[in-house]
């Protein structure tokens, strides 16, 4: 492990580490509305999910260095080094991403939690690029698609899917294994870079973390090249499960309480792994 003082090598391509911080002027106004606050905080997560998934297709930076080595010597005498190798093949910028959105509709997602989750969803959809495509599913005991295929932002199909989702009554428990496996298999035949965004508490009917089922689930997501990011919201959160999903697939996790605390203090809701 590198010491915290060691600076990351510039120019490397890393699927699992992406940093994005909102400019400070975006959070200066104390009169920011609730909807706008959600737009800022969740849009940060959105970009993390999209970029974590698309970074391979976008390639490295524009520097001409084919290789670079950085060395750091700790005061205790130990020396650490990092070698960065840049591929020489040309890469093409990704023309949009395909995103699966899994929205928790279990019995825990009621009242203010559901209102805030829907506000976050609206912010997410509003922040998508014209070249992106999204497919929305509700998640409780099963993952239920709200529309047939990936749809463009602002399309009638997606608008109808959102209204259908809003009409679902929160009931039952959540089967996270089934939800994530549905995400892993929903991209069959699609060629764009992929990402999955989960909005919910992560609480599952069965504890799969650390089991053989979880290992198989991670393998399926990695093989399908799906980065899983989560917006954790609810009365109780399984941050361990959501963090493990993100860490193993190249996604990120944002927790509603930490976002609200940052906004209350007038600080930008930045995201870092």
Domains of the chain by range and CATH? Answer: 35-53+92-264 (3.40.50.410)
User: Is 257 a residue whose pLDDT tops 70?
Assistant: no
Q: How many helices (H) and strands (E) does the chain have?
A: 7, 8
Tokens matching residue 201: 């508490």
Q: Report how far residue 100's alpha carbon sits from residue 41's, in angstroms, rounded to the nearest whole number.
A: 19
Write out pLDDT tens, residues 21-42.
Answer: 222 233 333 333 444 444 445 5
Question: Which of the pair, 211 or 91, is modelled with greater confidence?
Answer: 211
From residue 238, alpha-carbon distances to 95, 174, 241, 243, 255 in Å are 34, 12, 6, 9, 11
What is the CB neighbour count within 10 angstroms for residue 263?
20
**Distances in Å between the alpha carbon of 91 and those of 132, 139, 151, 236?**
19, 36, 26, 43
pLDDT of residue 80: 84
- Residue 58's H or E segment, with its range, is helix 34-58
165 pLDDT tier (thresholds 50, 70, 90): very high
Alpha carbon of 30 to those of 33, 36, 40, 255, 267: distances in Å?
A: 9, 12, 14, 21, 10
Mean pLDDT is lowest, of 83-87, 98-102, 217-221, 250-254, for 83-87
pTM: 0.69
Pairing type for strands 79-85 and 143-145 reads unpaired
pLDDT band at 96 (very low <50, low <70, confident <90, very high): confident
Helix or strand holding residue 167 (H, E)? none
**Residues 6 or more apart whose Cβ sits within 8 Å of residue 121:** 101, 103, 162, 165, 199
In angstroms, the CA 183 to CA 177 distance is 10
CA–CA separation, 99 and 150 (whole Å): 8
| 82 closest CA partner among 18, 16, 8 | 8
Distance CA 206, CA 174 (A): 9
Question: Is a pLDDT exceeding 90 seen at residue 244?
Answer: yes
Residue 130 has φ and ψ, to the nearest 5°, of -60, -25
């Amino acid at each position: 492990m590198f010491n915290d003082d060691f600076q990351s090598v510039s120019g490397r391509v890393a699927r699992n580490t992406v940093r994005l911080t909102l400019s400070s002027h975006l959070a200066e106004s104390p009169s920011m509305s609730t909807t706008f606050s959600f737009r800022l905080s969740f849009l940060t997560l959105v970009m993390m999910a999209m970029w974590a998934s698309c970074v391979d297709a976008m390639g490295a930076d524009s520097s001409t260095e084919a290789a670079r080595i950085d060395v750091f010597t700790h005061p205790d005498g130990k020396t650490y080094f990092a070698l960065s190798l840049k591929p020489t093949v040309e890469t093409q910028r990704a023309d949009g991403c395909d995103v699966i959105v899994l929205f928790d509709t279990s019995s825990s997602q009621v009242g203010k939690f559901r209102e805030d989750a829907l506000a976050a969803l609206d912010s997410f959809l509003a922040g998508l690029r014209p070249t992106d495509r999204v497919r929305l599913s509700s998640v409780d005991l099963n993952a239920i698609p709200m529309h047939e295929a990936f749809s463009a932002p602002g399309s009638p199909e997606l608008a109808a899917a959102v209204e259908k989702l809003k009409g679902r009554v929160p009931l039952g428990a959540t089967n996270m294994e089934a939800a994530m496996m549905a995400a892993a298999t929903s991209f069959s035949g699609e060629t764009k870079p992929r990402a999955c965004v989960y909005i919910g508490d992560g609480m599952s009917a069965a504890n799969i973390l650390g089991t053989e089922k979880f290992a198989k689930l991670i393998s399926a997501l990695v093989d399908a090249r799906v980065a899983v990011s989560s917006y954790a919201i609810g009365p109780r959160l399984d941050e361990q499960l959501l963090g493990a999903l993100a860490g193993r697939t190249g996604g990120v996790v944002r927790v509603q309480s930490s976002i609200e605390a940052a906004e209350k203090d007038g600080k930008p809701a930045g995201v870092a792994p």
